Structure 1
């Protein structure tokens, strides 16, 4: 009778081991699938991030170009403005401006005084 009990116990243990092996293999497969999905998602996110970085760098580059162009334009306009002020001041010095009162333009009076 004890022998039968051992055989039954052994049979139950074998079933348990088979069940555990199946469970382990199932979980390994599920884990592998999750790792593949994670790798795909990581690759996709990395691509999106690299695309965003490229866009940001492109916009930074455009802004930098616009800033340089703005600075050049401002310098040119300041130069032209200074040249016009000098020409106007010279015309006033030579008396070609007619009856022009400098008191109306204090900044021009400073230029002429120097």
Structure 2
């Protein structure tokens, strides 16, 4: 799962995000948002399907989004640092199946990483 704050949902913005994280040959299933239509030229295996009621055609994505929204409301209450919150949530989500290793992984990253001050965070 990847997430990024984008200024709008235009084909240009969606395409830039998708090209960063998705191979042009990958099988991609999206909803029927018109912003995806021009991307079919580059993503040859992009298929659009109706969203369905309550995300029935995208159950895993629906669960991830509902989880993120609940987590954001419950912990942070507002979105001043939305990208940092998205990064934290996707980190936790992607490591959900490695719960016994998450603490060790976090400690290793903190020890090996450069200091990241509050000033860096709000810049």
Report the TM-score, using the length of structure 2 for normalisation.
0.17
Structure of greater Rg: 1
Bigger share in strand: 2
More contact order relative to length (CA 8 Å, sep ≥ 6): 2
Report the TM-score, using the length of structure 1 for normalisation.
0.18
Bigger share in helix: 1
